[in-house]
A and B are shown apart, each in its own frame.
Chain A
Amino acid sequence: MIKTWMLLVVVGSVLLSSGGYIQVKAIAAQWMLEQAWKNTLEQHALSADLYQKPWPWADTWPVAKLKLGDSNQMIVLDGVSGNALAFGPGRMHGAGNVEHGLVVMAGHRDTHFSSLKTLVLGDEISMQSKEGTWTEYRVSDISIVDTNTHMIDMSVGDLDHAQLMLVTCYPFDEIQSGGPMRYVVTAEVI
Chain B
Amino acid sequence: MDTVHRSNRLIWWQGRREDILMLVAIFLLLTGYSFSAQAVEPKALSISTTMDQVESGRLLFKRLLTNSRPIKYYPATLLSEEVDIAVSGLIVTARLKQQFKNDTDDWLEAVYAFPLPENSALYLMEMKVGERVIIGEIKEKSQAKKIYQQAKKVGKKASLVEQHRPNLFTNNIANIPPGETIEIILEYNQVLDYQQGAFELRFPLTTTPRYLPGQRISGGEIAIDTSTGWSLPTDQVPDAHLVSPFTIPLNSMAKPSHKVSLSVEINTGFPVLEINSISHAVVVQPEESPNQDIYNISLKDGETAMDRDFVLSWKPQTGVSPKAALFSETWKGEIYSLLMVMPPQQLSGDMTLPREQVFVIDTSGSMGGESIRQARLALDKALNSLKPSDRFNVIEFNSTTHSLYSSSVPANTQNINHALNYVRRLNANGGTEMASALQAALSDDVYPGYLRQVVFITDGSVGNESALFKQIEKTLAESRLFTIGIGSAPNSYFMRKAAEIGRGSFTYISDLNEVESKLEGLFKKLSAPVLSDLTFRAELDSDNEQFESYPLLVSDLYLGEPVIQVIKHKVQMDEKSTSVDKFKLSANSIGLHHSSTPLWEQSINMAGAKQAKGIATFWGRQKIESLMDSQNLGTVNKDQFRQQVLDVALKHHLVSPYTSLVAVEKVISRPADSISRTDAVPQLLPKGSGQRMARFPQTATSSRLYVLLGLICYLIGIGMFYQHHSTAAFRGVTND
Contacts and interface: CB of A to CB of B under 8 A. Distances in A.
Interface of A: 1-2, 4-9, 11-25, 28, 32, 35, 39, 42-43, 46-53, 55-57, 59, 61, 63-64, 78-82, 85-86, 90-98, 100-104, 106-111, 113, 127, 129-130, 141, 143-145, 147-159, 162, 165, 167-169, 174-179, 182, 184, 186
Given A79-B373, A103-B56, A152 B694 contact: yes
A12 B710 CA distance: 4
B222 interface: no
Contact of A57 (B41, B368, B698, B699): B41
B488 interface: yes
Given A35-B20, A78-B369, A5 B717 contact: yes
Given A59-B373, A61-B47, A151 B693 contact: yes
Nearest to A183: B699
A87 B693 CA distance: 25
Contacts of B369: 78-79, 93
A19 B702 contact: yes
A5 B52 CA distance: 55
15 contacts: A12-B717, A13-B714, A16-B711, A18-B703, A52-B46, A55-B25, A57-B40, A93-B55, A98-B54, A143-B61, A149-B687, A151-B695, A152-B694, A152-B695, A154-B693
Contacts of A152: 57-61, 693-696
* Range for the number of chain B residues in contact with chain A: 35 or more
**Highest count of chain B CB atoms <10 Å: which of A18, A90, A144:** A18
Q: Which 5 A-B pairs have the closest CB atoms?
A: A101-B56, A19-B706, A15-B710, A12-B713, A12-B714
Nearest to B513: A81
A147 B692 CA distance: 16
B21 A169 contact: no
A65 to B, nearest CB: 11
A4 B724 CA distance: 10
Nearest to B376: A59
A167 B48 contact: no
A177 B702 contact: yes
A75 B587 CA distance: 60
Contact of B54 (A82, A91, A113, A144): A91
Contacts of A147: 695-696
A130 B52 contact: yes
B644 interface: no
Interface string B677-698: 0000000010101101111111
A157 B717 CA distance: 56
Interface string B213-227: 000000000000000
Given A7-B717, A16-B714, A152-B693, 16 more contacts: A8-B720, A12-B716, A14-B710, A15-B713, A18-B703, A39-B17, A50-B47, A56-B45, A61-B47, A81-B370, A97-B53, A97-B56, A145-B65, A150-B696, A153-B59, A155-B692
B699 A154 contact: no
Interface stretch (B31-39, B352-360, B538-546, B613-621): B31-39
A19 B31 CA distance: 12
A169 to B, nearest CB: 4
Contact of A23 (B68, B703, B709): B703
B697 A167 contact: yes
B466 interface: no
A98 B56 contact: yes
Interface in B241-295: 249-251
A102 B720 contact: no
Interface of B: 6, 10, 13, 17, 20-21, 24-25, 27-28, 31-33, 35, 39-42, 44-62, 64-65, 67-68, 249-251, 368-371, 373, 488, 685, 687, 689-690, 692-718, 720-721, 724
A156 to B, nearest CB: 7
Contacts of A102: 56-59
Given A49-B49, A85-B699, A152-B696, A186 B59 contact: yes
A11 to B, nearest CB: 5
B54 A21 contact: no
A127 B55 CA distance: 13
A51 B706 contact: no
A167 to B, nearest CB: 6
A32 B51 contact: no
A44 to B, nearest CB: 9
A14 B370 CA distance: 33
Contacts of B13: 39
A178 B53 CA distance: 31
Contacts of A143: 61, 65, 68
Contacts of A20: 703, 707
A108 B701 contact: yes
B56 A109 contact: no
B40 A56 contact: yes
B594 to A, nearest CB: 44
A94 B56 contact: yes
B694 A151 contact: yes
Contact of B56 (A7, A82, A156): A156
